[in-house]
Structure 1
Amino acid sequence: MKSPTVADLSQRLRELHKRTVDTPQFNPVFQLAHDLSRQLEAGELSLDDCEALIAELEVKSLHERAARLECMVAPIPADANEKALAATLRSDDFDAFRASWERPQLHAVFTAHPTFLLTPDQSEAVAREASGGDAVSADCVGGDRPQVTLAYEHGRAMQAIGHAQDARSAIVAQLLRHAKAVWPDKWTDLAPLPFRFASWVGYDMDGRTDITWSNSIGFRLSEKAKRLARYVADLEAIDAGHKLLSELRPASLYALERAQDFTADLSDPAALSVAANRLTAPDPRKLLSLAPYIDRLEAEAASPDDGERAIQLKTLAAAMRADGLGMGWIHFRVNAKQLHNAIRRRVDPDGNLDLASKGAVVHLRRAIEGLTPRRSNFGALAIEASTAIRQFLAMAQILAHVDADAPIRMLIAECEEPATVLAALYFAKLFGIEDKVDISPLFETETALEHGGRFLDELLAEKVYQDYAKVRGRVAIQTGFSDAGRFVGQIPASLAIERLQGRLAQAIHANGLSGDVAALIFNTHGESMGRGAHPAKMADRLDWALSPWAKRRFARAGIPLEPEVSFQGGDGYLWFATPELARALLTRIAVLRPSETDADAPKDSFYQRTDLSLDFYRAVKEHQREHLESATYSRAITAFGLGLLNSTGSRVSRRQSDINADREMSLRQIRAIPHNAILQQLSYPVNVIAGVGTAADGNFEEIGALLSESARGRELMRLVRASNALASVKTVAAYGELFNSAYWSSRPYRGTETHLAEACEALGAYLVKDDRIGVFRRLASRLRVDAMKLHRLFAHVPDEDPVENREEKRRMIGVLQALRIALLQAMFIRAVSVPAFSRANDVSRDDVLEMVFTLRVDEALAQLRRAYPRHFPRIDRFDLTEPTDWPDGGDEGYEAIHRDYIDPIERAHALNLRITTAIANIFGAHG
């Protein structure tokens, strides 16, 4: 019998869907999976055939990702982008032009959450196609996935930042040419700074203990060497004999040598002393500031000379001003608990101080006011036990011996109390670096969002914080959509975050800081469509993080705004994977101007009709909370553990404190990225879609009218529609059927598949008490009821950006899901068919079965291989004088068990993980 093609399966799925008209409970995805499973077990379909089908779908999914990438940043050609930017440049007022371009339109942070979904070959193929090159081919699928190490992540981040820097320089040069043409007598006064770049790769300590302080120092030195080398290359292109090259070249080499020092094992105090003394010793090649070089380049550009040379020199000076002695600014990150532990050692050794109290704020204020800065060195850094204090010591050494000018961000995760920020300020002042460190609390938990307004009011009222903010010239906060979206849902999280941003504007203004500070708001994305993966518009991606309503609050209060967003991991780096894509993306952002807004724009009805919008928000949030607190939802989402997901980063997907926790995983043990990814793999982004329909129940027309007439409402609904367009309640239910005892026990009924009777009987008996079939059915029922209400709401809200080729994409996902469920059935059948073995090391056969059912496949295979080795120790390897007749040569290992059971399980699981990547590509997911 001929093996089916992807087209055959897609057509079959279309036909099966028609049957739902007559039998609403009929499940087309599971039926197709059952058909494939029967062919597989009958020998009519092989794993080779399955791999060929999956490979074809992988290539199609990569085409989808490339098309979406191109759509979001188009046009791609450099000349088209130059024209697009030129059309927005004003020519009437030089001072206004300067004001627009001498403050960053956006800070872009290159982070390394576990989002390296694609292999390097796949990333390059997608970027090449999106950039107008050759289409993705089958050559890039099926290969080995590289291990995602911290060094790998750092290397990819530096590559992306390099392309971003080149794209920014092209934009800067265009701004300078425009200014020169329009204001020939003033243009040399222009110092463009349209974008700043930063990274936390190698500096983020939240939730991990595998990054040492020497890693961070080594990374910073390597970045310094790389950036200096890039400055050298840029200056050589302008003038190969330029005098500054004789200083910049040795400085780059010196930084590289010091970086190599810090890659060594520095656990020995003697080794550390050598490396540290080399770095701290005076050396003519040691640069700590680029200010003199920037001044010399600017002065040279201002002298009468060839105009294009002057533009190139000022462009290089602009790059130095933006990046300093590194590939960009850096972000350290710690958890609030780490700071609490550290501050208690200093100001509350007896543990009597409640850091959530007003007394703690008063106590810390007095402690900060009375501080005398302390000197520190690398020895102090090496012996410091506290993670939080160690980060401040590392920052002090970087500012003293690597780059004295570029400020450093200190991000505080799970920050819920003003005292936590004051604790960070205490340590910054203790080590004499408070004038160079931007302390940034992260608001992402439900508690932080609910009480964030009070937090900001109290913090900004503190004089010690006001004095600090004035010195820094900014108030910095971070708002995270990932954990917020996980715990309160993406729609209510977005609305809660924008209200918090508005409260920041209010608090700055109320405390008389409007004329003294800017607001730097770092938004780390995390939406379930895929880490900032909005479906159609770059404007939506930017507005989602910082809405026009929030921006108007700052504009009306006269507070300059510095928006900052993250581009996360390998797939987030796709925006910068080629010079063409980087130029196109930065041009789109420059044209959209996310730091600016019209303070006099008409008010959005969503914020005026709070009688409707607040009730809508609360109802969606409550519905999301019900899911999160539901044992049904938790059990369904964790039914396969993290086994549906590829490893996509160096940071673990389960929180490190939970590694030794019980086998039954809870939602709070799973990080936000894998939680979102599991929802995509089950084909229903619950934390985007769920609750929106229910929130409008009984008031569809009025809610629909509000959402339709409101720009913000339409934006919310665009994300909901795009998620819903790819969602499938039937697929959620199909996964439950894998654990349906009745399905397995009746599969060989009426004499079909008699060769599977024993395995199916065993599965039926094993699963008779399993709760997962009921769990998935209950979840699917809840989702279906809510979805019916959502479709009633859709009837009252226009579909502004319908998903292109929606049905084709849905069938692609449906075929992939059916293939996966068929492969899971094959794994279950083989796992239950392995001959029984004796309990070893407290692991029984049933334990191994449960490992397979929860997709802890590597663990299961390790146990099976131990129980059934391929080869036994051979007697002829011993050189003994005494003869033996045993073993008699009849026992050569369990080769047949490996061939028939163990190897097919391993291969099927590997194919499942390739399906994971394909589904994520269609969703546009990062992670």
Structure 2
Amino acid sequence: MAALLAGDSSPLLTAPRFAPAPAADLARLHDELARLFEEFERQTERDPYGNPVQLLAFELLRRFDRDLPPALIEQLLQRLTLHAFTERARRLARYVGEDDPARNRAAIEAAIRRLGFDGTGKPVSFERFRATVEREVYGIVITAHPTFGLAFRIERALAALALDADATGETLSAAERQRLARRVIEAEHRPEPSLDLKAEHNLSLEVLENIRSALAQLYEAAFAVAGELYPERWMELRPRLLTVASWVGFDLDGRADIGWNDSFYKRLKLAAMQVRYYRDRLTEIAPLTDPATKSAFAMLARRLAQAADEMDREIEIFEAAAGDARRWREQLAALAQAMYEGRQARLVSGGDIVAVLEQALTEAPAAARPAIAVLLAEVLNHGLGLAHIHVRLNSTQLHNAIRREIGMEGAPDDPSRRRSFHAAINALLSEVKPASINFGSLMAERASAKRLFMLVAQFLKYVDTATPVRFLIAECETSFTLLTALYYARMFGIEDRLDISPLFETIKAFERAPRILDDALANPHYAAYLRRRGRLCIQTGFSDAGRNLGQTVTAATVELVRSRLADLLADRGFTDIELVIFDTHGESVGRGCHYDGFAERFAYVASPESRRRFAARGIKVKQETSYQGGDGWLYFMTPAASLAAVARMIEFALETPAPASADPFYADYDYVTEFFIAVRQFNERVMGDRNYAALLDSFGPSLLYPAGSRAMRRETEGSAQRADLIHPTQIRAIPHNSILQQLGLMANTLGGVGQAIRKDPERFQRLYRESPRFRTLMAMVRWALAFSSPDLLKGYIDLLDPGLWLMQAAHHSSAGHSDELRQVSDHLERLGNHEKLTRIFRVLQADYLDLVAGLGAAEAETGIGLPPALRRDLHLLHAIRIALIQRIFLLSTHIPAFTDRHGITPEQLMAKILHLEIDAAVAILGRIFPVVEERVDQAAFGEPASYRSEEAQSYEAEHRRIFEPMAHLYELVRRTGSAITHIIGAVG
């Protein structure tokens, strides 16, 4: 793979739009710049005021007009991108581990076979074996977080090349490997041009199909092992083990762009695909069966086909809501009536399929039974859907819905009213009677929380009556929120099939989590609900928590919540119910996912000690983790990758926790607590510092392409005038993390650790040496250091230093170029941001220095975990981008003067450019300075006319000389961001 993608002799190492430079010339340029960077690094060892990244950027800028035109820079960027892509593929392969499908199937069988023996190697009873195999022990949750940094075809190629397997799981042929490599080499590494929720959902369906294929092989392995160990009883087994769920199209937290009809047709699509899959499997198995079974399968297959076709017709109507509103309402009314009248004959449960398969399993020939057993397991586990469903909203939406009913003013956790609010919601729970609804009710309802409960009710009524739905509540900080959710679940008749799950992620929620759950368990209504459901579901977040508290603090806090929850369930007498813990970490250091492989990923969020504590209390735990967007879905982008991932999940979930060890992390409670409090306090101060907001706003998300359908900022967008960022929470968590990655200092992971170490360095070093758990947490910090350097961040901050531009002007021999530099300096002076950025830089740099000193030279070396050449490439990419941004700023000084009548002043336009909002700026410039064609043929009117009206004036030259080059340079800026993302391994 490396030779295919990054070999210097490859004629394909060229950018797609330009005459290719010879690969040898690109290699020489690459080596030359790498040597130059190393020379600048040596220089700055003697000059504390020097910055090797900045010096290289200045050198590149000088050469732009000589021997480094944009075409050559683009080709160099493509070369660097491919080198980074190659390393990312290697890292993905290492992360997944064993990639051979046969060996992964064997690993799954081995993990299941171990369940058939006790600790002494003696066989266990079928009942004991069955008790574990028929449990759900791990859950995959597919989430559409905005991490779609690559076009989907390139994501598929990345997964295939990393695991060296095609769509069928077979080893790639030389020709297929070359074809995929050519696709990667010739592509622009960027997201899909039109990345919307529909595109994300369609890709999720592809991913879910691959997971379904892997789960089918899991069930095959379970039956194979059961047949070996319990030959007389294997057909009694109904394996579960792993589940798969999706919230793509159902997560409404912070989104107003997903209509209820969008969610409904997406749920129908999941059902239609799964029903067709069942039909196809019945058709494949039928020839192996006896005549009676074959006939029963044929009848069932016809019914499934009809049901899928019916759902397709319904999907068309629900999806058509964006068209003529009146016509759609009429169509929906007619459809709803038909659905209601035909509900008795409608396929809304897998029960009929299960009945046919149960009978066939005992009556069909022996050769057909394994396949029938696997299909039966799939129907029991998946129900009528390609995945289980997670819906999500915010606690505020629930509070707004209930406010009028109980006369609630202010917050529900107001100490002066808390008891009365709880009394009111308890009274409602005691008196509530189920309300009937229809699709018209959904259309009429304005309260988003109630509408979501209604939507779930319609899912359960018209799509799948048996498969429960998870109801996630973001920012849950009081038990009142859970009782409100239970009230609406009762109101709409879905309490028995809805799992209410609070998300603990905010500082307040983490602190209150044990109290919130204790209150809920003590409430008779909620306690009875949990008993009926047989499970307590919670969600822990690493998103906003990771940036507000710091990633290491979040991981440690989640572990503390788990520990207290084990004690709470035991003390309250709830050890007989299942605990489901859904951790929404992501795929990178900025998202709380361990970088070093699946085993470390699972141990990071569900530590061995945490699992031991639950086991000691007799509490059964199902662990779920999220796989977020394009980055998280890479593990499931091919069937071979999916099988490898499932094998690692099964190895983790069925592993017996090791005996307790004397890890001082759990014994030295005072120091560990104080350490993480110090980290948290630092991050809270930084988050509250307006200078930090200014740093994030300096270039903001503009350094990257939009990586998802969800808006990056929480404020209203689209104004011609830009709105400054006032607080970091105005930017969503993943773009926030992405900005830090692209600025070259991952403060959300590193921040505060240096300060915490400095309080007691010797104690830190001792704990670091002696505690495996502490080293696991600190490994994330070490990994973030690999991609971070104050030199990188300083290079971007200095772009906005008017003094530095003025100094360049003073030392430049060309009067024209000196004037450009002075104009940029003047604009930056008026912008007035640099002083804010240098203040926050000093805060981050001081903490960084403490961190490096505290970890020690061997542990804190900046390049740890990265090959030296890749580390040089990372710095080279930053230098190239800094030079490109400088070039954009210089070009902007040639924009012609214009008046304020276009809704924006020249100063406001320049502010957009200095914040790299180039797409918006160029669009505005296109309106102010249009390229127009002459509408009137002046020669047709006889006498000569030299005058041309202002409306007829065309600005072709300005577009050619200024606007188009700015747009192209900005495209290269973002392409650089994609290459940096490859090196880091994930977006955000």
| TM bracket (short chain) | over 0.9
Give the counterpart of 1:521 among 578, 581, 585: 581
For the Cα contact (< 8 Å) 1:322–1:328, is it kept in 2?
Answer: no
**Sequence identity (%):** 33
Q: Would you say 1:654 and 2:710 are equivalent positions?
A: no
Q: In the alignment, residue 235 of structure 1 is paired with which amino acid?
A: L
Deviation readout 1:302-346 (Å, 9 max, x if unpaired): 447325x21111111111111110111111111111111111233
- Partner residue, 2:5: none
Q: Does 1:264 align with 2:320?
A: yes
TM-score, length-scaled by structure 1: 0.95
Tell me if structure 2 keeps the 8 A contact 1:736–1:775: no
1:479 Cα deviation after fit: 0.8
Is 1:174 matched with 2:221? yes
- 1:237 partnered with 2:237: no
Q: Contact between 2:663 and 2:771, CA under 8 Å: does it hold in 1?
A: yes
What do the CA deviations read for 1:79-133 (whole angstroms, capped 9, x no partner)? 1212323333223223332222211231111111211111112212211211214
One of 250, 260, 266 as aligned partner of 1:213: 260
Q: 1:845 to 1:102 in 2, by over 3 A?
A: same
Separation of aligned partners in 1, 2:763 and 2:101: 46
Give 1:151 deviation, angstroms. 0.9
| Per-residue Cα deviation, 1:657-705 (whole angstroms, up to 9, x for no partner) | 6877971113110000000000100111101112212212152232222
Residue aligned with 1:21, SS: helix
Residue 223 (structure 1) aligned to one of 270, 275, 278: 270
Structure 1 position 459 matched with structure 2 position 528: no
User: What pairs with 1:485-564 in structure 2 (closer than 5 Å)?
Assistant: 485-515=546-576, 517-526=577-586, 529-564=589-624
Within the candidate set 38, 48, 61, 1:14 is matched to: 38
The 1:785/1:470 distance shift into structure 2, 3 A limit, reads: same
Deviations 1:880-925 (A, max 9, x none): 9999947459975111111111111100111111111111111111
Equivalent in 142, 157, 166 of residue 125 of structure 1: 157
Q: Which of 822, 826, 834 in structure 2 is aligned with 1:761?
A: 822
Deviation at 1:209, TM superposition (A): 0.9
SS of 2:786 mapped into structure 1 = helix
- After superposition, what is the alpha-carbon deviation per residue over 1:804-862, rounded to whole angstroms, capped at 9, x for unaligned? 44322221111111111111001100112212222223411121111011111122112
Q: Cα–Cα, structure 1 residues 96 and 711, in superposed 2: closer, same or farther, change >3 Å?
A: farther
Q: 2:83 is matched with which residue? A: 60
Instruction: Indicate how the Cα distance of structure 1 residues 883 and 96 shifts in structure 2: closer, same or farther if over 3 A, else same.
Output: farther
Residues in 2 aligned to 1:754 and 1:481: alpha-carbon distance in whole angstroms: 53
| Pair 352,914 (structure 1): closer, same or farther in 2 beyond 3 Å | closer
1:248 corresponds to which residue? 304
Cross-structure match for 1:637: 696
What corresponds to 2:94 in structure 1? Answer: 71
Secondary structure of the structure 1 residue equivalent to 2:666: helix
Residues 595-618 of structure 1: per-residue CA shift (max 9 Å, x gap): x65385235320111122111111
| Alignment partner of 1:373 is 2:434 | yes
Query: CA separation of 1:354/1:672 partners in 2, compared to 1, >3 Å: closer, same or farther?
Result: closer
The residue number in structure 2 matching 1:106 is: 138
- Amino acid in the other structure paired with 2:92: L
| Equivalent-residue separation in structure 1 for 2:413 and 2:590 (angstroms) | 38
CA distance in 2, matches of 1:635, 1:350: 35
How much does 1:508 deviate? Answer: 2.1
Contact 2:852 2:860 in 1 (8 A): no
1:815-834 paired onto structure 2 within 5 Å: 815-834=876-895
1:401-800 to structure 2, matched below 5 A, reads 401-515=462-576, 517-526=577-586, 529-593=589-653, 597-598=656-657, 600-655=659-714, 663-665=723-725, 666-768=727-829, 770-795=831-856
**1:553 partner letter:** R
DSSP-derived class of the 2:543 partner:
helix
Are 2:75 and 1:43 aligned?
A: no
Distance 1:182 1:839 in 2: 82
Q: Distance in 2 between matches of 1:188 and 1:70?
A: 36
Q: Residues 870 and 893 of structure 1 are in contact (CA less than 8 Å); yes or no, is this contact kept in structure 2?
A: yes
Contact 1:109-1:564 within 8 A present in 2 as well: yes
Matches of 1:379 and 1:923, distance apart in 2: 49
- Name the stretch that deviates more: 374-383 or 627-636: 627-636
Distance in 2, matches of 1:553 and 1:874, equals 80
CA contact (8 A) 1:632 1:779 kept: yes
Gaps of 5+ in 2: 1-20, 117-122, 165-171, 288-293
Whole-angstrom distance in 2 between the partners of 1:462 and 1:388? 22
The 8 Å contact of residues 533 and 924 in structure 1, kept in 2 or not, is answered as no
Distance 1:669 1:167, change over 3 A: same
Contact 2:785 2:862 in 1 (8 A): no
Among 303, 314, 330, the alignment partner of 2:389 is: 330
Contact 1:149 1:650 in 2 (8 A): yes
Distance 1:232 1:532, change over 3 A: farther
Q: How many matched pairs?
A: 922
Shifted more, 916-925 versus 694-703: the winner is 694-703
How far apart, CA to CA, are the structure 1 residues paired with 2:410 and 2:860?
57
Contact 1:114 1:651 (C-alpha < 8 Å) held by counterparts: yes
Tell me the secondary structure at the aligned position of residue 625 of structure 1: helix
* Counterparts of 2:717 and 2:953, CA distance in 1: 42
Distance change >3 Å, CA 888–CA 404, structure 1 → 2:
closer
Query: In 1, distance between residues paired with 2:485 and 2:706?
Result: 33
Q: For the aligned residues, what is the CA RMSD?
A: 2.6
- What is the match of residue 859 of structure 1? 920
- Greater shift after overlay, 869-878 or 773-782? 869-878
Residue by residue over 1:116-163, the C-alpha shift from the partner in whole angstroms, topping out at 9 and shown as x without a partner, is: 111112212211211214264412226783211111111011110100
Name structure 1 gaps, 5 residues minimum.
Answer: none
CA spacing shift, 1:508–1:882, aligned 2, 3 Å: farther
What SS class does the counterpart of residue 625 from structure 2 fall into? Answer: strand
Measure, in 1, the Cα distance between the counterparts of 2:943 and 2:79: 59
- 1:803-814 pair list within 5 angstroms: 803-814=864-875
| Aligned counterparts of 1:395 and 1:538: Cα–Cα separation in 2 | 33
Deviation at residue 750 of structure 1 after TM alignment: 4.3
Shift of 1:370: 1.0
| Gap change, CA 1:213 and 1:513, over 3 Å in 2 | same
The change in CA–CA distance for 1:143 and 1:475 in structure 2 (over 3 A counts) is closer
Q: CA deviation at 1:249?
A: 2.1
Query: What is the correspondence of 1:837-852 to structure 2 with a 5 Å cutoff?
Result: 837-852=898-913
- C-alpha spacing 1:358/1:64, structure 2 compared with 1 (3 Å): farther
Quick check: 390-399 or 753-762, which moved more? 753-762
Shift of 1:366: 1.6
**1:252-294 CA distances to partner (integer Å, 9 max, x unpaired)?**
2222222223222384332221121222222676211112322
Which residue of the partner structure matches residue 153 of structure 1? 200
CA distance in 2 between counterparts of 1:142 and 1:353 reads 48
Does structure 1 residue 390 correspond to structure 2 residue 446?
Answer: no
CA positional deviation for 1:43? 3.5
SS at match of 2:574: coil
- Aligned-pair distance for 1:737? 1.3
Separation in structure 1 between the aligned mates of residue 789 and residue 534 of structure 2, nearest angstrom: 49
**What SS does the aligned partner of 2:98 have?**
coil
* Cα distance change of structure 1 residues 763 and 369 upon mapping to structure 2, 3 Å threshold: same
1:411/1:143 CA distance change after superposition, 3 Å = closer
Q: Aligned to 1:316, what secondary structure does the other structure show? A: helix
Per the alignment, in what secondary structure is the counterpart of residue 245 of structure 2?
Answer: strand
Deviation at 1:528, TM superposition (A): 5.4
The CA distance in 2 between the partners of 1:851 and 1:79, in whole Å, is 55
